[in-house]
Amino acid sequence: MEQLKQNAVLVGVNLNHQKDFEYSMEELANLAEACDIEVVAALTQNLAKINSSHYIGTGKIEEVRALLEANDGNLVIFNDELSPSQIRNLEADLDCKIIDRTVLILDIFDQRARTREAQLQVEVAHLKYMLPRLVGMRESLGRQGGGVGTKNRGAGETRLELDRRRIEEKITALSRELETLTLHRQTQRKQRKKNDFPVVSLVGYTNAGKSTIMNAMLERFNPEQEKQVLEKNMLFATLETSVRSIPLEDNKTFLLTDTVGFVSKLPHHLIKAFRSTLEEVAEADLLIHVVDYANPEYERMIDITNRTLEDIGIKDIPVIYAYNKADLTEQAIPETLDNRIYLSAKRRIGIDELAGLISRQVFKDYIRCDMLIPYDQGAVVSYLNEHANILHTSYEEEGTRLALECRQSDYGKYEHYVVEPIEIEA
């Protein structure tokens, strides 16, 4: 059966003249587009407080109805999360499907989720959103004819007919399965910590270019690893956390993680559901905050990302700001200023400079020393050649002398070979 084309009217309330209101409405249109919805009209209202029964003033309901009729609209999308009674009242008065920003974002996440963990996280968030809204949704089942707001994995439309107890049971069962996957992720994290590689996390607004930076890093430093991540010019292209090893040319290796992008008014249920995924960020040694520098609203995007990181308890981690897409501006690239770098990941300009910034930050505890290793300890020399940055090698009567930079853990392991440095003639 062919799905009915969705033509939407967007509705937003500007509470007390919010600075970012226009941008949030523009973003709502982008979110709708990501769900293949055509935006046919938009209506906004300035209010001191949200109308508790209809979100907008009742006088505006007529205007919304007129916009629906004039543009063959069959869907109204509201810029904030609606209460169960607001959904019920609006559907009764407008006689069409009503969804809010939260449902829109949940639907995009639902479409993008690829791994079992991401699918479970989205499903739990969906069910928790629906739980208090069952009555309104049950009354409007006749209108839920496919499209955004009803696309759910598994149970599909029948989920709307589940009673509260069964939904609660399902949330419990899914949460239990999610816990198992979370424990597995924690085990992987512990294993990586044991390997003693620093972890660098890419964070930022959705579509800022995090995956492009990761792929550019892989291409430059680890081309043998054929694990490129999905890179697409769309909102929330990546939901899964990807972890890749980046070996630099001086035998220093760090792990680079790519996480879900942020967006303004990211639903509370989603932040909670994706908490285990975002724990990857919480345990990072360094954050690379990727910014779409070509976007006129980039400063607002930085603020939203920083606020979201604070909401999930991430603070006191050093940050490098990577101003991506700077080639689309007047800014010279590549350019590095303190903890900021201007680059173009797509054109692969500034990748070496970014790696240099990362290296100076995460390897500053490397120890420079001289070691004299007996000839019968060839395995130690091989290990250090592979895991340390060898600055100079010479062969003496007692053994192989290495001038090197190494991790503190390796220094502790082989400290008994450390000798006084000697001057090396140029």
Known binding-site positions? 204-211, 238, 258-261, 324-327, 344-346
Question: Per DSSP, what are the bridge partners of residue 42?
Answer: 10
Average pLDDT in the 201-227 region?
A: 85
pLDDT in tens, 98-135: 999 988 888 888 877 777 877 888 888 888 888 887 75
Question: Is 341 a residue whose pLDDT tops 90?
Answer: yes
CA 282 to chain centre: 13
Instruction: For 132-197, give the DSSP string.
Output: GGHHHHHHTGGG--SSTTT--STTGGGGGGS-HHHHHHHHHHHHHHHHHHHHHHHHHHHHHHHTT-
Share of the chain above pLDDT 90, in %: 41
Least confident of 19-28, 84-93, 154-163: 154-163
Take residue 150 and report the two structure tokens written for it. 């009803």
pLDDT at residue 399, as a whole number? 95
Provide the pLDDT confidence category of residue 304 given band limits of 50, 70 and 90.
confident
Question: Is 287 a residue whose pLDDT tops 90?
Answer: yes
Euclidean distance between CA atoms 344 and 338, whole angstroms: 18
Provide the pLDDT confidence category of residue 156 given band limits of 50, 70 and 90.
very low
pLDDT at residue 271, as a whole number? 74
Known binding-site positions for GTP? 204-211, 258-261, 324-327, 344-346
Known binding-site positions for Mg(2+)? 211, 238
pLDDT at residue 334, as a whole number? 94
Provide the pLDDT confidence category of residue 372 given band limits of 50, 70 and 90.
very high
120 vs 322, more confident: 322
Provide the pLDDT confidence category of residue 30 given band limits of 50, 70 and 90.
confident
pLDDT at residue 333, as a whole number? 94
Question: Is 154 a residue whose pLDDT tops 70?
Answer: no
User: pTM for this one?
Assistant: 0.75
Provide the pLDDT confidence category of residue 366 given band limits of 50, 70 and 90.
confident
Shortest CA distance to 380 belongs to which of 420, 417, 421? 417
Q: In what order do the strands lie in the sheet with 399-406?
A: 389-395, 399-406, 367-374, 418-419
Shortest CA distance to 244 belongs to which of 261, 263, 220? 220
User: Is 354 in contact with 348 (CB distance < 8 Å)?
Assistant: no
Q: Which residue has the tokens 């290990």?
A: 383
Shortest CA distance to 11 belongs to which of 98, 70, 91? 98
pLDDT at residue 122, as a whole number? 84
